[in-house]
Every structure is written in structure tokens, then in C-alpha cells.
């Protein structure tokens, strides 16, 4: 178990994955802005539980544990776009 945890959280590990959805990008962006899950839910018109599930799903996608590690991963790997308008124009 300990070896697996070290492997999945290794920052140099490269993973191929499908692109994030617009909603996942928005949740990640709001999270990196320091907003709480309740605030994100209100802003996006979603239930807090839905946002919590999105955060968990993002953690599984990026092999991170906890919000702090997810935010650090997003910032260090350039996953954030400067504006929400750009995120919604991806589709």
C-alpha cells in the first residue's frame, strides 16, 4: 500500500487522460481561487454534494490526495486558465 501511494502521488509521473469537461475545469478554477465547496455550489447552481463529488473525481483523475494537493498539482502543471470565459469557450 505504501509503495502504491508514493507512485500515484509522484509529481513526475506522466498520465494520458481525456480532457476535462467545462464543469470540471470550473470547479478546479474556483477551488484554486480559494472558494469552499459550498460557495462553488452556490456560484454554479449545484448542490454542495455534487461539488464534493467533482472534487473527489478530479483527485482520482490527477492521482492526488486532498484539495491542497489537487490545487498544487493544478497550479504547477498549468491546468488553470485565467478566466472562466475561456473555459466555457472550449466546447
Question: What is the per-residue pLDDT for 16?
Answer: 55
Q: What was the pLDDT predicted at 70?
A: 93
- pLDDT the model gives residue 50: 96
Question: HSE of 87 in the Cβ direction (CA atoms, 13 Å)?
Answer: 18
Q: Give the mean pLDDT per block of 10 residues along the chain (91 residues).
A: 40 62 91 95 96 94 92 86 57 49
Query: How far apart are the C-alpha atoms of 62 and 15, rounded to whole Å?
Result: 8
Residue 46 confidence (pLDDT)? 96
CB 24 within 8 A of CB 11: no
Note the pLDDT of residue 80. 76
| Residue 30 grid coordinates | 474556483
Instruction: Look at residue 8 in the predicted model and tell me its pLDDT.
Output: 43
Amino acid at each position: 500500500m505504501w509503495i502504491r501511494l508514493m507512485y500515484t502521488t509522484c509529481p513526475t509521473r506522466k498520465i494520458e487522460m481525456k480532457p476535462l469537461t467545462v464543469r470540471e475545469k470550473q470547479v478546479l478554477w474556483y477551488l484554486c481561487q480559494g472558494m469552499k465547496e459550498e460557495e462553488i455550489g452556490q456560484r454554479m447552481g449545484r448542490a454542495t454534494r455534487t461539488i464534493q463529488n467533482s472534487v473527489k473525481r478530479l483527485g482520482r483523475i490527477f492521482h492526488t490526495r486532498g484539495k491542497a494537493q489537487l490545487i498544487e498539482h493544478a497550479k504547477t502543471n498549468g491546468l488553470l486558465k485565467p478566466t472562466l470565459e475561456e473555459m466555457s469557450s472550449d466546447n
